[in-house]
Structure 1
Amino acid sequence: MATITPKILKKNKYNNNTWRVVYRLTHKRVSRYIKTRRFITEKDIVNDDDVSMDYIIDFLADDLRKYRRKIDDIENIEVLSVDDILKELTNDQKDIEFIDFCRLHISRLKDQGRSKTAKPFVTITNSLIDFNGPKLSVSKITSRFLKQYESYLRMPKTITRKQGENTVKKTTSLNDKGLNNHMAAFRTLFNEAKREYNDEDIGRILIKNNPFSVYKIIPKKKKKHKNLSIEQIRAIRDITPNTSRGKFAKDIFLLSFYMCGMNAVDLFNNWDKLKGSNDRIGYNRSKTEGMREDDAFISVKIPIEAKEILERIEMKYNNIDRLNNTLSIGLRSFMKDLGLQELTMLHARHSFATIARNDLNFSKEDVAIALNHVSEDNRITDTYIAPDWSKIDRVQEMVINKVNEDL
């Protein structure tokens, strides 16, 4: 059991012949000291380093009762170190500052090179400041708070944001889809704060509220499939867009399709490697890197169709946001010429998967491997089996041949 006792450290004598009173915390035969604001002279010292009982009764009794009460309240104290207990006793923080935690978490993600993951958390932090002010105690985040915040998010409002050196104003409001994404990211942030400050193994629970158990995030509507038919993929292949953006977007779309639905961010991050490789490329998928034991690694063959695109275009954008913006504008510039109501980079990935499964009858497992997906059911089994990239090669080759069999 931990004990706490008032002491003086004899060697730490001040020039005015006084000693500072300290509390000696002892646990498992290890001691730490807590400084006080009290000083005593020789007359109040007994047994070389103890404080006289009269002085304790007159000046230290309340402090000692407070510390001993805290010690009694610590659950599973036997598994703690003396430093853990010291932290509990000297932590006077009554509540966690959530905005400060958000900024800390965002900074950590950016330091890890995960700026894209941090982006929605930046949006939430700014929005919470707009709604509640620059400070927000965790205990204030209740289901009632979340419902009020949801109403605020739905309401049209003008917000001011810093973009580089410029300050811009824009009007915004969230629909059901935007609200689902926003509140799901908020829940992730809140749970990260609980992981940061709570330690259930030792019963140290600083964040006790669980507002998302009562507040229910509005469910997502079922996603529309973003797959195109073989004929529509061929139409994209054969069209000659009228703008330079359109031509560039078409090439990147087809490059993604030929590379088993490779995401735009992974094309961007691995551009030099793609340009410099003759046969195949190994890369870690950005979306799930760091979330899987294999770091989402995949090896994909670079087919002749992809090589031809890589030989004629260059990556002239220095960040992914500018690339995505160009791709969005470029694809929209010719989608109506093809009779399409929507065309995004996701259509390349979804179409590759659909053609492989529905038109070529590949198994869902083989399609998943080609898309660099991992099945939760097979996650443990996958750690025992060496990857066979030839499975991806077969899916890739047959999908491309199927689309281009009219040539």
Structure 2
Amino acid sequence: MTNRRIAYELKKYRERLNDIDCADCYTAKQLKTILTQPDIITPNVHTFNEFMRQSIERIHAEGRVSYASMMTDTLKMFDKAEGEIPMLVMNHHVVSHFDSWMKKQGHTDGGQQIRLCHIKAQVNEAIKRGLLKCKEHPFAYTRIPTPEPREMDITPDQIRRIMQRDVSHSKRLTLAKDMFLLSFYLGGINFADLMQVDLSGTGISYKRQKYLLGQLIEYTLASNRKHGLL
């Protein structure tokens, strides 16, 4: 077993050495660094799923919680569709099957776009680190869909109708109208940021926060309960 493990390690280093242009130009110490660096950066990675899990942990540690949460959802979906995929077989067949699986499950173009972009980013990172080697890029035959733009504009006449609408009979509608118009006047500030802004001065300053839809709903409900609206 020890001999087999040594043979495996030597084969891995020999393949990495063959990929180095002008290997004779490097010292023994430099070659050792080149050959062992991938193991130092991402140790004990045997499957693409493991690589994604480590990436999610790193992203979460960097404070990008929302992005890490979306990546986790993508990984759960990938696990369900493909299972644990060894790095050696992470190719265009896997990506094509995952794309087809999402379509059969009824995911929208926008949903497919997000999931495929996450997978592609991780594929590119694995290639960059030397963990995934392929003659053809896994996304060579898969087109990432672009969702049709939604009509989101509100006409000036509609804004005037909202401003002139009498909603004094409803406490909730009054709050909704006031918050919408205040957000409109402040250039589209979202509700979560608006609830934390100090409006007592002559100007406002805030750092825009990114919320997932579920987080924004929870935040809105909690705020409404706090103010006795629910």
Task: Kindly report which structure 2 residues correspond to 1:5-24, keeping only aligned pairs within 5 A, or say none.
Answer: none
Q: Go from structure 1 to structure 2 and tell me whether the alpha carbon gap of 1:67 and 1:127 turns closer, same or farther (over 3 Å shift).
A: closer
Q: Go from structure 1 to structure 2 and tell me whether the alpha carbon gap of 1:98 and 1:110 turns closer, same or farther (over 3 Å shift).
A: same
TM-score w.r.t. structure 1 length?
Answer: 0.42
Residue matched to 1:404: none
Partners of 1:245 and 1:326 within 8 A in 2: no
Residue matched to 1:85: 32
- Give yes or no for the alignment of 1:234 onto 2:180: no
- Counterpart AA for 2:88: S
SS state of the match for residue 212, structure 1?
coil
In the aligned structure 2, how far is the partner of 1:242 from the partner of 1:181? 42
Task: Kindly report which structure 2 residues correspond to 1:119-134, keeping only aligned pairs within 5 A, or say none.
Answer: 119-133=69-83
In the aligned structure 2, how far is the partner of 1:180 from the partner of 1:71? 34
- Tell me, which stretches of 5 or more residues in structure 2 are unaligned? 224-230
Residue matched to 1:220: 147
Q: Go from structure 1 to structure 2 and tell me whether the alpha carbon gap of 1:111 and 1:89 turns closer, same or farther (over 3 Å shift).
A: closer
Residue matched to 1:188: 121
Q: Go from structure 1 to structure 2 and tell me whether the alpha carbon gap of 1:79 and 1:265 turns closer, same or farther (over 3 Å shift).
A: farther
- Give yes or no for the alignment of 1:207 onto 2:207: no
Query: Which structure has the larger Rg?
Result: 1
- Counterpart AA for 1:191: N
Residue matched to 2:198: 275
Partners of 2:193 and 2:209 within 8 A in 1: yes
Residue matched to 1:253: 180
- Counterpart AA for 2:122: L
Q: Go from structure 1 to structure 2 and tell me whether the alpha carbon gap of 1:80 and 1:285 turns closer, same or farther (over 3 Å shift).
A: farther
- Counterpart AA for 1:228: I
Q: Go from structure 1 to structure 2 and tell me whether the alpha carbon gap of 1:119 and 1:91 turns closer, same or farther (over 3 Å shift).
A: closer
Partners of 1:97 and 1:138 within 8 A in 2: yes
- Give yes or no for the alignment of 1:112 onto 2:62: yes
SS state of the match for residue 205, structure 2?
strand
In the aligned structure 1, how far is the partner of 2:200 from the partner of 2:107? 44
- Counterpart AA for 2:104: M
In the aligned structure 1, how far is the partner of 2:216 from the partner of 2:164? 27
1:86 Cα shift?
4.9
SS state of the match for residue 213, structure 1?
coil
Equivalent position to 1:147, from 96, 103, 114: 96
In the aligned structure 2, how far is the partner of 1:180 from the partner of 1:114? 20
Q: Which one has the bigger strand percentage?
A: 1
1:286 Cα shift?
3.7
In the aligned structure 2, how far is the partner of 1:71 from the partner of 1:191? 18
1:96 Cα shift?
4.5
TM-score w.r.t. structure 2 length?
Answer: 0.68
1:285 Cα shift?
3.3
Q: Go from structure 1 to structure 2 and tell me whether the alpha carbon gap of 1:91 and 1:216 turns closer, same or farther (over 3 Å shift).
A: closer
Relative contact order (alpha carbons < 8 A, sep ≥ 6): 1 or 2 greater?
2
1:125 Cα shift?
0.5
Q: Go from structure 1 to structure 2 and tell me whether the alpha carbon gap of 1:102 and 1:275 turns closer, same or farther (over 3 Å shift).
A: same
SS state of the match for residue 70, structure 2?
helix
Task: Kindly report which structure 2 residues correspond to 1:139-178, keeping only aligned pairs within 5 A, or say none.
Answer: 139-156=88-105, 173-178=106-111
1:127 Cα shift?
0.5
In the aligned structure 2, how far is the partner of 1:242 from the partner of 1:103? 52
SS state of the match for residue 284, structure 1?
coil
Q: Which one has the bigger helix percentage?
A: 2
In the aligned structure 1, how far is the partner of 2:184 from the partner of 2:27? 55
In the aligned structure 1, how far is the partner of 2:189 from the partner of 2:29? 52
1:181 Cα shift?
2.9
Alignment RMSD: 3.9
In the aligned structure 2, how far is the partner of 1:225 from the partner of 1:184? 24
